[in-house]
Structure formats: C-alpha cells, structure tokens
Amino acid sequence: MTEPAKPGQAPGRAAALAQYRRRAGLYDLELALFEPIRRLAIERLALQRGDVVLDVGCGTGLSLPLLRRGVGARGRIIGIEQSPEMIGRARARVAQHGWRNVTLVCAPAETAEIPGVADAALFHFTHDILRNGDAVAQAVRHLKPCARVVACGLKWAPAWAAPVNLLVWPAALRSVTSLEGLDEPWSRLAALVGRLDMETVLLGAVYVASGRIDSGL
C-alpha cells in the first residue's frame, strides 16, 4: 500500500503507478457517476471532423468513443497513459472496435513522445498531470496555435458548500497522489494556455475549464 496523498506534496509517479495498478479492474465502474462530466468536457472541445486530439492521461480509454465520434474516421486520437494496466485496457478497447485512427502512448505525460501537433487536448480527471508543470508544458508544446483545451476533475468546494468537501476528500485520496492545488487544479494549464472559461457542477466539487491556446504566448 502506498501512503495517502498529503496536502502539500508534489505528485508522485511511483505512487500513481501503484494506485492505478490497484484500480484498473474497477476503474470504469468507479467513474460511471462522472460520465455526464465527460460528455460535457468533450462537448466543450468542439471537435471537428479530421481533427487531431490529445487524450492526456487517457486511462482505460473511456473517452475514446466520444472523441472518435467528434473527429470522425479521418481524424486522429493520441492517448497518453503511464500505467501499463490502464493502457492495456485502452488497447483492448481499441482492438475490440477496430479503431485504426487511435494511437496509444504508454509513458509519463512529461516525457511522452507525441507525434506531430494537435488541434485539441483533453485532461479528464488527471489532477496529478495538471499539477506537474513539465507534463502540462509537454502537452501544450504539441498543440497548434488556437488549439482547444479542456480540463475537468475534482476541486475543493467553495466555502458556502464546505460540507461537500467531506465527499471530495475521500474521492481525491483514492484518485490522486497530491492534494496540492486542489483549490485551482487548472492553474498551471491556465498559465500556459491563457484565459480559461470555468464551469462547476456538483455544488462546486467538480470543475470544467475550457479555452484556446493563446497564439500570442
């Protein structure tokens, strides 16, 4: 067993690998409650036929069907996931459907070799990645000017909904290795992308941040 996440510690790769090794078998069931958030996030990507989209921290590939529906058969999806157990399930999903326009890269987001540049990027419930400046920068470097970016996940609820954090806390402990930045998980992405439009759901416990790469950066 790994140590639980602590408020100020940085994300830990070894802890994340162990965490998702344990969760891989039940991951799809655990995230079923958040499927409406996934649909909202991908809707905010405003994908077009023929687009190339990065699925950063793609997990078991739950976002792949919706992403593929957006980019069509002529588009391309590049999924990045460091957990062998999780990406193994994503590869099985791709093989089951015979998707030829999905490329899966098993590597940490900060060192992943991402082919080409993309029109959009999705960070779905990837708190540890979003709090890793090198990982965020690597993804942004592979986005075109004005590319669309969407991030979503858990956050601390505002003061008026403080009791909600009694639910956020155990959910975060199970899904992240660092609680650092849980008040504004998107801040490192915003520093590189520019302005992000914010939406919150579930009484402020979950956010959806969307925007475009600032071509002036």
Span 59-93, pLDDT tens digits: 999 999 999 999 999 999 999 999 999 999 999 99
Contacts of 68 (CB under 8 A, 6+ apart): 75, 77, 99, 101, 102
Please give the Cα distance from 52 to 71 (Å, whole number): 7
Is 8 within a domain? no
The pLDDT assigned to 11 comes to 67
- The region of weakest confidence among 2-6, 104-108, 160-164, 188-192 is 2-6
Is 1 within a domain? no
> Which CATH number fits the domain that encloses residue 17?
3.40.50.150
Angle, vertex CA 177, rays to CA 165 and CA 34, nearest 5: 55
Whether the Cβ atoms of residue 204 and residue 155 lie closer than 8 Å to each other: yes
Instruction: Measure CA 213 to chain center.
Output: 17
What percentage of the chain carries pLDDT values higher than 70?
Answer: 94
Is 178 within a domain? yes
Is 80 within a domain? yes
Quick one: average pLDDT of 25-42? Answer: 92
Is 168 within a domain? yes
Strand pairing report for 196-201 and 206-212: antiparallel
Is 208 within a domain? yes
Neighbours of 81 (CB within 10 A): 28
The pLDDT assigned to 10 comes to 60
Please give the Cα distance from 154 to 96 (Å, whole number): 31
Instruction: Measure CA 9 to chain center.
Output: 20
Whether the Cβ atoms of residue 125 and residue 150 lie closer than 8 Å to each other: no
The pLDDT assigned to 217 comes to 44
| Helix (H), strand (E) at residue 212 | strand 206-212
pLDDT-derived band of residue 131, with 50, 70 and 90 as boundaries?
very high
Tokens 């391309």 correspond to 76
Q: How many structural domains compose the chain?
A: 1
Is 110 within a domain? yes
Whether the Cβ atoms of residue 147 and residue 212 lie closer than 8 Å to each other: yes
Is 149 within a domain? yes
- Residue-number span of the structural domain to which 41 is assigned: 13-212
Strands (E) in 15-91, as ranges, are 52-56, 76-81
